[in-house]
């Protein structure tokens, strides 16, 4: 007799201020998905971070940007407590500034308020598997933002004498912008420890001991490598 394999459950914590919405989402998620386990469903309160820590949630579903962005830095607090958890936000409108603020805060899944139950479940599943999700209406805005970001990071000379790889050159550019290891890890979708190891490897290659000296040394080298104007 063959053994029936049960689907792996994704542990989901629902944080929503409106009680009716919260209860409705719990019913919908429980009915529509057999691979989602609701491990908490509460409104914001002084004990919410304790509830999150005890839940061991893998995905946190927030019901609105207003809840996340006003008052305490809720998204940052969630990421600090549940370092491996991924956050899905139900946005209110087709609003690019709000969407990009959510991305900057570390949200990896974003659905609009008129999303269907199946779309919310699909977003939870995808984010739980390590993917990022957003409505198609934001795709063009993402490409524009990426192009602007790359334009804002000066490329180091390909003949970098320190022997930096493309990834290491990219990291130097992001450090130059003042980003922390954690922020760089979020932007590149890498582990923070991986970024830390890369940065220390760059220290050894360029012969410095801190981030500021690393940027200055690489800028100096890049400037010397550029051809002088006639």
pLDDT digits (tens, 9 = 90+) for 212-224: 888 888 877 655 5
Query: Residue 144 half-sphere exposure, CB side, CA atoms within 13 Å?
Result: 7
Are 74 and 44 in contact by the 8 Å Cβ rule? The answer is yes
**Do 45 and 133 lie in a common domain?**
yes
Please list the residues that pair with 36 across neighbouring strands.
Answer: 10
Judge if 115 and 36 occupy the same domain. Answer: yes
Domain boundary among the residues 138, 169, 189 is at 138
Distance CA 17, CA 64 (A): 9
pLDDT at residue 99 is higher than 60: yes
- Does residue 111 belong to any structural domain of this protein? yes
Residue 167 is part of which domain span? 153-225
What are the tens digits of pLDDT across the range 156-171? 444 455 678 888 888 8
Task: For 101-159, write each residue's pLDDT tens digit.
Answer: 888 888 899 998 888 888 888 899 889 888 889 988 888 888 888 777 666 555 544 44
CATH assignment of the domain containing 213: 1.10.10.10
Same domain? For 128 and 14 the reply is yes
Query: What pLDDT is attached to residue 187?
Result: 83
In this structure, the answer to whether residues 109 and 58 fall within a common structural domain is yes
Answer whether residue 185 shows pLDDT above 70.
yes
Identify the pLDDT of residue 2: 45
- Report the pLDDT value the prediction gives residue 39, as an integer from 0 to 100: 93
Using the structure block, give the residue that is written with the tokens 């550019």.
173
* Burial (CB count within 10 angstroms: exposed 0-12, middle 13-18, buried 19+), residue 226: exposed
Instruction: Quote the pLDDT of residue 153.
Output: 54
The model scores a pTM over 0.75: no
For residues 162 and 76, state if they share a domain.
no
Kindly give, in sequence order, each residue whose CB lies less than 8 Å from that of residue 81, ignoring residues fewer than 6 positions away.
49, 52, 53
Q: What is the largest CA-CA distance in the chain?
A: 82
What's the pLDDT band for 88 if we cut at 50, 70, 90? very high
Query: Mind listing the pLDDT tens digit for each residue in 22-57?
Result: 888 888 888 877 888 899 998 888 888 899 999 999
- CA-to-CA distance for 167 and 121, rounded, in angstroms? 35
Last residue of a domain, one of 115, 138, 161: 138
The reported pLDDT for the residue numbered 159 is 47
CA angle 104, 109, 33 (to 5 degrees): 160
> How many Å from the N-terminal Cα to the C-terminal Cα in the chain?
82
Rounded distance, CA 107 to CA 104, Å? 7
> HSE-up of 49 (CA within 13 Å, CB side)?
12
CB of 145 closer than 8 Å to CB of 100? yes
């Amino acid at each position: 007799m063959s053994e029936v394999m049960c689907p792996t459950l994704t542990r989901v914590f629902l944080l929503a201020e409106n009680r009716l919405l919260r209860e409705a989402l719990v019913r919908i998620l429980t009915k529509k998905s057999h691979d989602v386990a609701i491990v908490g469903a509460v409104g914001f309160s002084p004990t919410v971070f304790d509830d999150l820590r005890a839940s061991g949630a893998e995905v946190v579903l927030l019901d609105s940007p207003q809840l996340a962005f006003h008052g305490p830095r809720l998204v940052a607090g969630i990421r600090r407590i549940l370092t491996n958890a991924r956050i899905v936000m139900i946005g209110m409108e087709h609003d690019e500034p709000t969407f990009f603020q959510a991305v900057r805060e570390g949200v990896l899944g974003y659905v609009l308020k008129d999303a269907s139950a199946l779309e919310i479940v699909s977003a939870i599943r995808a984010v739980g598997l390590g993917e990022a999700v957003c409505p198609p209406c934001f795709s063009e805005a993402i490409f524009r933002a990426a192009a602007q970001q790359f334009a804002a990071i000066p490329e180091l000379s390909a003949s970098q004498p320190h022997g930096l790889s493309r990834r290491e050159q990219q990291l130097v550019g992001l450090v130059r912008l003042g980003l922390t290891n954690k922020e760089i890890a979020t932007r590149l979708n890498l582990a923070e420890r991986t970024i830390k190891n890369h940065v220390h490897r760059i220290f050894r290659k360029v012969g410095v001991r801190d981030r500021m000296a690393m940027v200055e040394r690489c800028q100096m080298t890049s400037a010397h490598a550029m051809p002088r104007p006639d």
